[in-house]
Copies of this chain bind each other. A is one copy, B any other.
Amino acid sequence: MATRPTDMSNTLQEASITLGPIPGSRKTYLQGELYPELRIPLREIQQTDSRNRDGSIEHNPAIPVYDCSGPYTDPETPIDIHAGLPATRWQWTAMDTPLEHRPEPSSAYGRARLADAKTADLRFQQRREIRRAAEGANVSQMHYARRGIITPEMEFVAIRENQGLEKLRASHPELFRAHRGEPFGAQLPERVTPEFVRDEIARGRAIIPANINHPELEPMIIGRNFLVKINANIGNSAVTSSIAEEVEKMVWSIRWGADTVMDLSTGKHIHETREWIIRNSPVPIGTVPIYQALEKVDGKAEDLTWELYRDTLIEQAEQGVDYFTIHAGVLLRYVPLTANRLTGIVSRGGSIMAKWCLAHHQESFLYTHFEEICAIMKAYDVSFSLGDGLRPGSLADANDEAQFAELHTLGELTQIAWKHDVQVMIEGPGHVPMQMIRANMDEELQHCYEAPFYTLGPLTTDIAPGYDHITSAIGAAQIGWYGTAMLCYVTPKEHLGLPDKNDVREGAITYKIAAHAADLAKGHPGAQVRDNALSKARFEFRWEDQFHLGLDPEKAREYHDETLPQEGAKAAHFCSMCGPHFCSMKITQDLQEYARGQGAEDLEKARAQGLQEKAEDFRKLGKNIYLR
């Protein structure tokens, strides 16, 4: 990139991208069967051996886990953010849809930016061709699915969802010990097949957000019958942040587990920022195109027009945005329903459209032109994320008439999108107290025909600014359990400021917890494996393995080391919580060793007889063990 001096503060010069493997993990790849060219990423958490007291050694297998961190955590893959990630998807077996290959953007704005000398320094330098379906054709995953075609993307996500656990299931069945879930109607197959994926996509119960202009993408799936996903929001505003920081925030977000990233930039150079992000992103990128449209009319909502918005959609679709949040459910007649709310309309997109509707005494152009929008979506395979412009911004406004009226309209729009074979997910809450969360999921499933639900939180109380990642994780875990397919993270800075890198990490990990707690509660097959492996490591005082199996190995180690920094303490059979003479786990190991030593038969006898005749043996055995 250009390194010559510039008077712009938003250059990329300070870009510092976080690279390297996650501690204790090795990146591996699985291969496709229908499409052998597919390399599906996986992370294997290495474990050390267990050393039993009798001197025997037990091998603990590597635990494979779903991995969305992209090539950034693979030391074998060279990274050059100025070149972007390789356009891998374009090398996969091509489908039968006729495509147009364009050298230039077809949006007026895209062409203008390309010709703009003032932003040349900021521009991502590598230009790729632009693809779109030929006139009248449809490249959406849903369109293929409904024609019975399994695409490479479908096989990719099928293999990815299985997390490479098949081999482990055969070799270490004890790790798969798990409780029965309560799936609330979700149907979670023990093994996800490409055909299952195809069927779910065809029914509209899942989406693969995968714009054909985002060839750098490692596809993923969002649906109630798959692993619960999380989204991280990044983006600059007029007040703060630079392009470089935003690219790093994307890389940073996916390192900590973000399955998709939304670029919510509203400040300067959002076209250029977006290009840098997408070219370097292995995860789907979502946007809210109305934000940029509003920038184009200098913030005057009344001046927005369908033509300008349409050009923005095409501009962004040609950059490779994978899903668009579109607040097409904010209807003119719903706006007055918000007048008596405690916090009115808190969605930016929702309030912009409400303002437009009132100012023009017309129905929203997003609603009246919805079929034209569908025509754009299917030409690039951009998925709808139908925005909840009237979501509640406080507990007081939860589940009110305005919110559910809009949700029902989103259901109507879903049917229209599906008529065009365009993929759809539905956005939801918000601020909702716990006892009212379930109704959100039920309403969505019923009125939006099981299209995947994508919710922000919900926050379960309003009284903890600075801790809204937690107020909302409580709600997110529950709504994920009830069936939400993707959880939009909330960071500690919510309501207070723009998240920095620490906040992004905190928000992402918090939401991974919520998503995983939901997977466990639903009874997702294989979800408990990692919990079991970590608990076994914990019980056996394999500290390093505990750290590595956790969602944030670095923080776990750092916390441990605050009180016991010595390297030797990592092998110690105690920790600083209870000290060496006071560890319940250690005492229990003594008990278990005793029980195992006598064999299962003896154990049964002992159990029946209250262990009386065994007690003396134990006393001899255990007396000296306790203090080592």
Which residues in A have some Cβ–Cβ distance to B below 8 Å? Answer: 177-182, 237-240, 266-267, 291, 294, 299-302, 332-333, 335-339, 342-348, 350-352, 354-355, 357-362, 393-396, 398-399, 431, 433-436, 460-467, 469-471, 473-474, 477-478, 481, 492-493, 495-498, 500, 509-510, 512-514, 516-518, 520-523, 528, 530-532, 534-536, 538-539, 546-547, 549-552, 555-556, 558-560, 562-564, 575-585, 587-592, 594-596, 603, 606-607, 610-616, 618-619, 622-623, 626-627
Chain B residues near A359: list those with CB within 8 A.
615, 618-619, 622-623
Given contacts A266-B578, A352-B587, A626-B300, contact A464 B513 (CB under 8 A): yes
Smallest distance from the beta carbon of A375 to chain B beta carbons, Å? 27
Copies in the complex: 2
Closest to A362 in B: B615
Closest 4 CB pairs of A and B: A361-B615, A344-B588, A238-B579, A394-B535
Smallest distance from the beta carbon of A591 to chain B beta carbons, Å? 6
In the bound complex, how far is the Cα of B301 from the Cα of A584, in angstroms? 12
In the bound complex, how far is the Cα of B113 from the Cα of A201, in angstroms? 73
Chain B residues near A550: list those with CB within 8 A.
463-466
29 A-B residue pairs with Cβ-Cβ distance under 8 Å, sorted by A, are A237-B576, A299-B581, A299-B626, A302-B622, A333-B607, A336-B595, A338-B588, A339-B592, A342-B539, A343-B535, A344-B539, A345-B587, A347-B584, A351-B587, A351-B588, A354-B588, A355-B590, A355-B626, A358-B618, A361-B614, A434-B521, A461-B516, A461-B531, A466-B550, A466-B555, A466-B559, A470-B470, A474-B477, A493-B577
In the bound complex, how far is the Cα of B462 from the Cα of A583, in angstroms? 19
Task: Please state if B556 and A496 are interface contacts (CB–CB under 8 Å).
Answer: yes
Chain B residues near A584: list those with CB within 8 A.
344-348, 350-352
Chain B residues near A497: list those with CB within 8 A.
559-560, 562-564, 575-577
Task: Please state if B581 and A535 are interface contacts (CB–CB under 8 Å).
Answer: no
Task: Please state if A551 and B396 are interface contacts (CB–CB under 8 Å).
Answer: no
Closest to A345 in B: B588
In the bound complex, how far is the Cα of B486 from the Cα of A80, in angstroms? 53
Smallest distance from the beta carbon of A581 to chain B beta carbons, Å? 4
Closest to A492 in B: B559
Task: Please state if B588 and A358 are interface contacts (CB–CB under 8 Å).
Answer: no
Chain B residues near A513: list those with CB within 8 A.
460-461, 463-464, 467, 470-471, 474
Chain B residues near A362: list those with CB within 8 A.
615
Smallest distance from the beta carbon of A415 to chain B beta carbons, Å? 23
Smallest distance from the beta carbon of A10 to chain B beta carbons, Å? 15
In the bound complex, how far is the Cα of B359 from the Cα of A291, in angstroms? 71
In the bound complex, how far is the Cα of B393 from the Cα of A534, in angstroms? 12
Contact of A591 among B345, B465, B594 (CB under 8 A): B345
In the bound complex, how far is the Cα of B550 from the Cα of A384, in angstroms? 36
Contact of A496 among B338, B435, B474, B559 (CB under 8 A): B559
In the bound complex, how far is the Cα of B551 from the Cα of A481, in angstroms? 27
Smallest distance from the beta carbon of A275 to chain B beta carbons, Å? 22
Closest to A299 in B: B581
Task: Please state if B466 and A585 are interface contacts (CB–CB under 8 Å).
Answer: no
Task: Please state if A534 and B577 are interface contacts (CB–CB under 8 Å).
Answer: no
Given contacts A433-B517, A433-B521, contact A610 B347 (CB under 8 A): no
